[in-house]
Amino acid sequence: MSFTLPDLPYAHDALAALGMSKETLEYHHDIHHKAYVDNGNKLIAGTEWEGKSVEEIVKGTYQANAVAQNGIFNNASQHWNHTQFWEMMGPGEAGMPGELEKAITESFGSVDKFKEDFSAAGAGQFGSGWAWLVKDKDGSLKVTKTENGVNPLCFGQTALLGCDVWEHSYYIDFRNKRPAYLSNFLDKLVNWENVASRL
């Protein structure tokens, strides 16, 4: 099964007033994400991974003890990560559904504490990577961070929310202010209905 670049679920300028510019999405989706798709397709061609789902490839090529992951993993995981990322954001102003708010409050004490922990994870990720809200194998909710393209699939977790903290995700709009980008992401960009649907 070859990788395909998905269309954004909204127009390129739909998030501009909320802190993610049309220019950012043109670079991030149309160039960066497309590169993972194109490179991933080249790397899996003629291998045992050709014809497998993205999720199978991510789980099957992740090397837990590796200092650096292999090219197939990097491109497959970043394709998966970005596909989720676009869906986890939106231009709507819907609040957090009650079921999700209840689960977050039970796990973190309050929504504000969750946002604080999530922002700290993203800001504290050295170099490139992702901040995540995950549902762990035991059903509990946790905030995690991963380096480069590593994602919750690698650990048997369900990704509820992910934020890309690679510089290409925020440098056009926020320059080097990663904490401000994370705060804006949580307060203005997250599609909480999508997050709740992943519970």
Q: Annotation-wise, does 82 bind a ligand?
A: yes
Concatenated DSSP letters for the chain? ----PPPPSS-TTTTGGGT--HHHHHHIIIIIIHHHHHHHHHHHTTSTTTTS-HHHHHHHH--TT-SS--HHHHHHHHHHHHHHHHHTB-S------HHHHHHHHHHHSSHHHHHHHHHHHHHHS-SSEEEEEEE-TTS-EEEEEEETT--GGGGTPEEEEEEE-SGGGTHHHHTT-HHHHHHHIIIIIB-HHHHHHT-
Q: Binding site annotation covers 168?
A: yes
Q: Is 12 annotated as a binding residue?
A: no
29 belongs to an annotated ligand binding site:
no
Binding-site sequence positions: 28, 82, 164, 168
- Residue numbers in the known binding site for Mn(2+) are 28, 82, 164, 168
